Amino acid sequence: MTVRDRYAPSPTGLQHIGGVRTALFNYLFARARGGTFVLRLEDTDRARSEARYVQNLYNTFAWLGFSWDEGPDRGGPFAPYVQSERFPRYRAHAEDLVARGSAYYCFCSSARLEELRAEREAAVSGGASAETGYDRRCRALGADEARRRAESGEPHTIRLKIPLGDGGNVPLTRFQDHLLGEIAWKNSDINPDPVLLKSDGFPTYHLANVVDDHLMEITHVLRAQEWLPSTPLHVILYAAFGWRPPAYCHLPMVMGQDGKKLSKRHGATSIDEFRLQGYLPEALINYVALLGASYEEGKEFYTLDELAALFSLEKLNKAPAVFDYKKLDWYNGQYIRMKDSAALAALTLPHAVAAGLFGAAGTEPDAEQRGRFEAALPLIKERITFPREAGEKLRYLFSEPPLPTREEFFPKKADRAETARLLAIARAITGDLCRAEEAEAEAIVKARAEREGVKLGDLLMPLRVAVTGARVSPPLFGSLRILGAETALARVDRAHAYLTA
């Protein structure tokens, strides 16, 4: 069988982690099986569908770096791939079901349905009845009368006939799910005779989804488990049409660490938010691909091609996947470390410009500043998780840091006078350190510490704070080389005067 699967979002909001995980798994499955990945826009919710959400979808996947083989922007043999452009097909198929006796015209007004809903809710809450939903009133109409009324222009919908049992027999709808096994669903638990075609001619999600999956020859439906309650209804629809349903695989849910469905209360969920916070697309894809799936034992980093080669439905987990922001942060930091110098500079420089590293916010660096920035990136490459952090960590190289409290200069057990003495000793070798490579600088400091009879760490602490403004900073020797002797000595002198004032 040639695999054809699809991602079928409704353009009613921004692309989020759950949707992207569904799209990614469908993409990987199609690639692993040499099949076709389809994008279909299910925009039947005309009140909430917006063009900006469609554009957000395109922008999101362009940024993530994977796409579909057929879709609204690419075309394909089953175009159009936007449901609002396929309405005549849905009406024709709904009318076909009426002709088959599997659906019927319903003439109940919205006022009657609202009254019925209120009555049934009151009965259920009062314990008098367990009945909910539509009462199937129009199902009993004769076919000729119903058609006459419909053809006369009387407002109506088309409803699906959910198969009912005889007497005490409660029919079941069964289907096989690749991950969950055989599912048996009581027809009495399915929404009673749901609307397929609204009175305005718009299809409901269920009709459009089933018709399109069949006409587009979708072989596999991989979607989140939250859609599981819709599947029995879809299986009934396939049977009513006489069609073979696709293979189903309801993917494990993505949960927060509190065990509840991932939502904004847990943090960022839209891809735009992750992007703005500085997450890299390759880190996000690598992490999301592991939410509910396994690949190779002991391996944590995968390219998109590697994921596609290894993806298998047999490696999906039944248990919900827990979204761990700390783990994602770790991935992001690791992918930053994998960047070469040019790529890291391109990634971090815009953030540094926006943060005002080179002057007012938005000021671009001159040639000297850019060179210094690029030269300093190796000092912090192992210390940043997000590109935006680079500017702040390197600010001391572009502007004189404010003096901290005097106690910040003090090595352990040292007082102010001793710290000033240590800084004076360090000043004597600062010029040499600014001109030395790492190994030579270490030798210079070690020799001076032994000569003066002081601990190496005690000698370096006040020097570090004088130069960088902090007790914890990027590597000191590299910082001194980039700053140069003149600037470094001036900062040491300022700090010494501050300690001895």
Alpha helices in 2-86 (DSSP H): 17-32, 51-64
Is 161 in contact with 104 (CB distance < 8 Å)?
A: yes
Instruction: Identify the weakest region by mean pLDDT among 262-266, 300-304, 336-340, 361-365.
Output: 262-266
Answer yes or no: 161 catalytic.
Answer: no
Q: Is the pLDDT of residue 261 over 70?
A: yes
Residues 97-132 have pLDDT tens digits of 999 999 999 999 999 999 998 888 888 877 767 677
User: For residue 191, what is the enclosing H or E element?
Assistant: none
Show the 3-state SS of 339-359: CCHHHHHHHHHHHHHHCCCCC
Q: What is the pLDDT of residues 41-52, one digit of tens each?
A: 999 888 899 999
Quick one: average pLDDT of 71-82? 98
Rounded to whole angstroms, the Cα distance separating 179 from 218 reads: 18
Residue intervals in the chain for CATH 3.40.50.620: 4-72+208-255
Which class is domain 88-197?
A: alpha beta
Question: Which of 302, 373, 294, 296 is closest to 341 using CA atoms?
Answer: 373
Intervals of CATH 1.10.10.350 along the chain: 406-500
| Delimiting residues of CATH 3.90.800.10 domain(s) in the chain | 88-197
The residue whose two tokens read 């099986």 is 33
Q: Give me the CATH code for the 4-72+208-255 domain, please.
A: 3.40.50.620
| pLDDT given at position 120 | 84
Once rounded to an integer, what is the mean pLDDT over residues 74-101?
97
DSSP class per residue in 403-441: P--GGGGPPTT--HHHHHHHHHHHHHHHHHHHHS-HHHH
Catalytic residue among 186, 260, 264, 299: 264
pLDDT tens, position by position, 135-190:
999 999 999 999 999 999 999 999 999 999 776 677 999 999 999 999 999 999 99
* CATH class given for the domain over 406-500: mainly alpha
Residue 67 has pLDDT above 90, yes or no: yes
Taking the C-alpha atoms of residue 374 and residue 340, their distance in angstroms, rounded to an integer, is 11
